[in-house]
């Protein structure tokens, strides 16, 4: 340990051997004050390793340069992974301040590595020598390491290098501020309902939660928020149109209200910084820069895919909107003017009428604990792995639960932390993340620590959490990401699952959603939470038939989001216009709902403005093509066929980024991905002639 009299270093749990089972993060001993000192010490230790590589008199080799560098950042990665779990679960002003300082330290540190001339010279020396003796995984790590240096400014010099540092640090700060504004703008809004008649149609458990929320805030009546467990059921079921409009407008103007949490200026600064960064590195646009390291490889491929999907799905989307609009007019009157805040409500009513299916018919069969058991059961059937809950491992939030994961032969595989409930300060949506990566060293196979987070509504005391089918789909999706991490089996930490090319990372998650409507799977856990009866065959049939409901709308919506992302990241001149107007002009051809001035997506589009999906949001649809085609093999050979699953595990899940994903995909599937299975799954018969 470097000399440091600071007690927060000398007695820092991160810098001591963990006494928790499986080397778990000792969250019970860690305070917020420990993070920054631990990060600084970890940076110092990694810098010492970098110095030893640079000052070595030995000829640069894969082992003494590439591999040594890859292992050097493990401690820093663990600290950041541990902190991210906390920050995502329960953000606060103090946590946001730590996050900003930590990110600044991290970016500056990583710049010091990739812009280190002596280090890059050694990396380049290894890259340019004969490496035929290396394994496939070693060659992949060498290639990725060299490319990472080049893509992160190693070939820059003088003022250009200084500019690169400034831009990366500025982008880091902007990302955190965008995210902070989104959280705070979401938390700032509440809808206070005092007349119970205004709640007609809203599910009882949502009303109970709103009543409890009001009580906790010292109010009478009901308090609804823009957090998804409150917003989605309200906008979907509330009969009161004016209140739906109020909620819709509040949600659709997040980050664009002109208040202290407005993100418009941050969006402009972000896209302009990204453009300057790309130009600095020799690319015409930021999208060109990003896509050069993706399966798609270039913008032409992305626009071609989005165009093909739009051509095939838009006629269906228009027909769907016509049917829903006609249904709404019939329900109201012929002069009824359909608006965006009507879509979720009347779409759900139309679905109920068309399929005789409601969420309340489905929820009793997807109690959260049973749904978790179902996901675990499927993993056991497919891969032979088992789960054992551990009540003693410290957690990053009181709601989190931990499971030990074991292989079919009893070998320990991973820790899985699950945090299911929405709360104030928690990031929106659902996600998987890694606290610790999987890798191998002379000490053995170091197994990963994985997190699974959702935003389900926390039940009232004594009541269960019941999921609708979309929420169960979300669980299956994120669990697929978790399996990708749990079953990783590589040597080097930077290549472990799910650290794969960004337009491949969603395939292992999305393939799991296919099981969510399979009777052969559901029969083992989808029991009524009170009676214990299996989900009725008729209800399951309706779920299966309704799977293609609004498939056109959903695909065109995703294509529009992908187009919006590309529009922001294909600019060739600095942007200084109106953010929402630019969004509208760029994507109006793919709009299926009426446009309301002042509303938009960009200012709350965390995926592309503060997440990892900038210039890469198309990857959801890209991966959907992959997952539908891959699942076709499961359908052909039996969805519970362990031989098929073992092939998927060995060729996809275990491999991480040890080989190019297209190589892995073809090895599993036997051919390049084909779009027909996706179209068939979505019930699309009109196929673009150029597909």
Residues written for the chain: 691
Helix (H, G, I), strand (E, B) or coil at 496: coil
Q: For residues 233 and 206, is the Cβ–Cβ distance under 8 A?
A: yes
Q: Which long-range contacts (CB under 8 A, 24 or more apart) does 127-135 make?
A: 131/62, 134/62
Kind plus residue range of the DSSP H or E element containing 661: helix 661-669
Q: For residues 135 and 230, is the Cβ–Cβ distance under 8 A?
A: no
**Packing angle, helices 117-127 and 35-54, rounded to 10:** 60
CA–centroid distance for 160 within its chain: 33
* CA dist., res. 416 & res. 98, Å (int): 25
* CA dist., res. 101 & res. 95, Å (int): 10
Distances (CA, A) of 285 to 156, 274, 411, 499, 570: 18, 8, 47, 24, 5
Kind plus residue range of the DSSP H or E element containing 440: strand 439-441
* CA dist., res. 687 & res. 312, Å (int): 5
Burial of 391 (0-12, 13-18, 19+ CB in 10 A): exposed
CA dihedral 345, 351, 353, 358 (to 10 degrees): -80
Nearest Cα to Cα of residue 511 among 342, 662, 626: 626
Nearest Cα to Cα of residue 477 among 507, 519, 436: 507
**Is 636 among the residues known to form the active site?**
no
Annotated catalytic residue within 478, 513, 583, 624: 478
Q: Where are the beta strands (DSSP E) in 108-246?
A: 190-193, 222-225
Q: Phi-psi region for residue 67, left (φ > 0), alpha (ψ -120 to 50) or beta?
A: alpha
And the tokens for 362? 């489905």
Q: For residues 4 and 10, is the Cβ–Cβ distance under 8 A?
A: yes
- Residues tagged active-site: 478
């Amino acid at each position: 340990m470097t000399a440091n009299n600071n007690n927060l270093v000398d007695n820092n749990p991160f810098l001591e051997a963990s006494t928790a089972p499986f080397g778990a993060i000792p969250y019970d001993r860690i305070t917020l004050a420990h993070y920054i000192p631990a990060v600084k010490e970890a940076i110092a230790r990694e810098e010492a390793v970098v110095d030893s590589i640079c000052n070595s008199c030995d000829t640069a080799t894969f082992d003494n340069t590439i591999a040594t560098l890859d292992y050097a950042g493990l401690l820093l990665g663990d600290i950041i992974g541990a902190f991210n779990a906390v920050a995502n679960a329960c953000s606060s002003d103090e946590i946001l301040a730590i996050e900003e300082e930590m990110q600044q330290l991290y970016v500056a540190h990583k710049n010091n590595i990739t812009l280190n001339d002596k280090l890059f010279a050694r990396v380049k020396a290894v890259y340019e020598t004969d490496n035929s003796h290396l394994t496939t995984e070693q060659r992949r790590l060498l290639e990725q390491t060299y490319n990472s240096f080049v893509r992160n400014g190693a070939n820059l010099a003088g003022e250009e290098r200084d500019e690169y540092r400034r831009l990366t640090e500025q982008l880091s700060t902007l990302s955190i501020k965008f995210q902070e504004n989104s959280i705070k703008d979401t938390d700032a809004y509440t809808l206070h309902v005092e007349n119970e008649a205004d709640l007609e149609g809203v599910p009882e458990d949502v009303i109970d939660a709103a009543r409890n929320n009001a009580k906790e805030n010292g109010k009478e009546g009901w308090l609804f928020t823009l957090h998804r467990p409150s917003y989605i059921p309200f906008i979907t079921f509330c009969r009161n149109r004016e209140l739906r409009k109020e909620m819709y407008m509040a949600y659709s103007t997040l980050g664009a209200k002109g208040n202290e949490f407005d993100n418009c200026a941050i969006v402009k600064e972000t896209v302009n910084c990204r453009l300057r960064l790309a130009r600095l590195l020799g690319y015409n646009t930021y999208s060109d820069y990003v896509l050069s390291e993706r399966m798609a490889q270039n913008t032409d491929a992305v626009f071609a895919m989005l165009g093909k999907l739009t051509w095939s799905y838009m006629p269906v989307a228009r027909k769907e909107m016509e049917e829903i609009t006609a249904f709404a007019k019939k329900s109201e009157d012929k002069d009824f003017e359909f608006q965006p805040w009507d879509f979720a409500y009347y779409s759900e009513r139309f679905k109920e009428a068309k399929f005789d299916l409601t969420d309340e018919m489905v929820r009793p069969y997807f109690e959260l604990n049973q749904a978790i058991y179902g996901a675990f059961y499927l993993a056991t059937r497919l891969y032979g792995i088992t789960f054992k809950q551990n009540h003693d491992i410290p957690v990053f939030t009181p709601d989190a639960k931990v499971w030990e994961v074991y292989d079919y032969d009893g070998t320990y595989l991973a820790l899985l932390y699950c945090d299911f409930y929405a709360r104030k300060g928690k990031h929106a949506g659902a996600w998987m993340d890694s606290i610790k990566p999987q890798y191998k060293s002379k000490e053995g196979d170091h197994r990963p620590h994985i997190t699974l987070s959702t935003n389900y509504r926390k039940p009232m005391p004594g009541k269960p959490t019941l999921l609708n089918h979309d929420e169960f789909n979300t669980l299956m999706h994120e669990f697929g990401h978790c399996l990708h991490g749990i079953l990783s089996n590589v040597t080097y930490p930077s290549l472990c699952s799910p650290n794969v090319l960004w337009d491949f990372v969603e395939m292992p998650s999305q393939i799991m959603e296919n099981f969510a409507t399979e009777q052969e799977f559901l029969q083992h856990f989808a029991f009524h939470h009170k009676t214990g009866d299996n989900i009725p065959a008729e209800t399951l049939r309706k779920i299966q038939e309704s799977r293609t409901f609004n498939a056109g709308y959903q695909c065109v919506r995703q294509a529009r989001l992908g187009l919006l992302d590309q529009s922001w990241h294909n600019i060739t001149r600095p942007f200084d216009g109106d953010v929402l107007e630019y969004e509208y002009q760029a994507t109006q051809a793919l709009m299926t709902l009426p446009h309301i001035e002042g509303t938009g997506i960009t200012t709350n589009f965390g995926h592309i403005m503060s997440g990892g999906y900038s210039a890469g949001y198309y990857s959801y649809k890209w991966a959907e093509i992959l997952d539908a085609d891959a699942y076709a093999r499961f359908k052909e050979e039996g969805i519970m066929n362990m031989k098929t699953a073992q092939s998927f595990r060995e060729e996809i899940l275990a491999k991480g980024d040890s080989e190019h994903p297209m190589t892995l995909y073809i090895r599993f599937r036997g051919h390049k991905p084909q779009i027909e299975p996706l179209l068939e799954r979505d019930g699309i018969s009109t196929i673009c002639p150029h597909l």
